Each structure stands twice: as C-alpha cells, then as structure tokens.
Amino acid sequence: MPATSSSVPTAEITSSTTTRSAETAARWFSCAATNVGHVRKINEDSHLDAQEQSLWVVADGMGGHTRGDRASQCIVEALHEFVASEKAMDSVDDLLNRLSVANEACRQAAQGQVMGSTVVALYLHEDKAYILWAGDSRIYRRRGDEFTQLTDDHSLVQELHRLGELTADEAENHPSSNVITRAIGVADDIEIQVRQVNLLPGDRFLLCSDGLFKDVKPEEVNHNLALPSPRQALDELVTLALRRGGTDNVTAIVVQVATS
C-alpha cells in the first residue's frame, strides 16, 4: 500500500518558480526532493531542478568508490549554466558536451582512482521530451492510465536479463544488482543514451535515483504518481522509500506538463 503521510519533514524539498517565458510557465512545473536516508552518512545524490530552462537532472554518486558525492556534484555543476536554445538538437548537443566536461572533471579529480556517478536528464522542448542517461537512475512517465519506464538500466543484471539469462524477478533480486555498466567519470570516453519521445498535455514524469525504486515497487510508483498534485506524489514516494528502510540516498523530481 502507498504511504499515507503527506509530507517529508526530513527531506530537502525544492520547487522551481522562475520561468524562461510565460509560455514555459504555462506548460510545465516541477518539484524536487533529496534525503540522505537512514543508513548512509553522506548524500551522494545531486539534482538540478532548472524549470526555467526546461531541464531536470538526477545524479547518483557511485557508492563504494572515491568521492561519489563529488562526482554527482560535478555533473550538476556542468549543467547548471545550461541555457536552452531555439533548436532542440542544439540544446541536446550542448547537454552532451556538458556531460563530457563533467566526465573529464571527474577523471581529473579522481587522481587515478574511480570517481563516478550515474546521470539521468529530462529536457522538454515544444512537443518533445529528450531523455539522456548513463547508469541506473530512471525516468518514469504517467500518461492517463498508462505507466511507462522510459529508461533502460545500464547495469549488469539488466544486460543479463536482456540476453535472456535472467528472468525479471531474478534480475530484481540478484546480488549484483548494483553493478552498473555506464557512468560519468569511470572512463575517458562516455556513453550517453539519448531518447526522444512525444510530449502530450497532462504528462507527468518522475526522475529518481535507485534509492527510491529499489524499495518501491513499480505498481506503487504508478499509484503514487497518479495522486492529484505533483508535490503530493513526490512527498508520498519519498516517504514510502524512507519507511521501507531508507537504505540508500533518495532523490526524486516530479515534472508536470499542463493539461492544456
């Protein structure tokens, strides 16, 4: 069952109100939250809620490696000054270039050690949504009664599942479920997957780190994402992840497209 609490008093919650234009303000809005959880001492997640540029980002520093928190911050810092272009693909190219800069910054700061982070970004432009990601941070979309995961995890178990060597249940409970195959900062060359999808009025997106979805089942994500307001959906999802143990950092952003 979904959580019943309507607030997350221990979470850092932010929402964007500054807009790039009146049209953007009318078309979509967002809110974000991050929480260190109940087990980890440091929050290695970072996020960017840049509604005025129609850009949202979640980055999850790789636990067990050197300075995962700094790696995720490198990504947000590189994307923080992004300014949307008139042409969508110019914006996408700019985002890819900035992620390349973040990758190089991580490589230099690591001083020969591994300093990495996943990243997932959502960029909206007119009637299209552009998704860029590396690793296992995710984007879900709820459209009417349809619930879809728009990203594919870049992880060892997901690759084994795609190859038919693991069932979905086996992949979900596999002891190597935290082994990712793509990330920012782990190699000189980065592999960012890009996906374009149509944007419709009323679409609602959720960006999140694995600290949310590994403790909250897809049907629970769907149920809570359908709640009346984006803020209520966000609060309930983060609260539920924390109630399940908060074994990892939890970061989430809900982006709502206006209905008309």
> Is 169 part of a structural domain of the chain?
no
133 domain residue, yes or no: yes
Distance CA 139, CA 122 (A): 8
Q: For the domain that residue 252 is a member of, what is the CATH number?
A: 3.60.40.10
Residue 250, CB half-sphere, CA atoms under 13 Å: how many?
29
CA distance 87 to 195: 16
* Per-residue confidence in pLDDT tens, the chain, 260 aa: 333 333 333 333 333 333 345 566 569 999 999 999 999 999 999 999 999 999 999 999 986 666 899 999 999 999 999 999 999 999 999 999 999 999 999 999 988 888 999 999 999 999 999 999 999 999 999 999 999 999 999 876 666 556 555 566 656 665 556 678 999 999 999 999 999 999 999 999 999 999 999 999 999 999 999 999 999 999 999 999 999 999 999 999 999 999 97
User: Would residue 168 count as lying in a domain?
Assistant: no
Distances (CA, A) of 213 to 37, 119, 120, 237: 14, 15, 14, 9
**Domain presence at residue 85:** yes
Is 229 contained in some domain? Answer: yes
Domain count, the chain: 1
Residue 22 is assigned to a structural domain of this protein? yes
Examine residue 158 and state whether it is found in any structural domain, yes or no. Answer: no
Domain range enclosing 29: 12-153+180-257
160 is a domain residue = no
CB atoms within 10 A of CB 258: 12
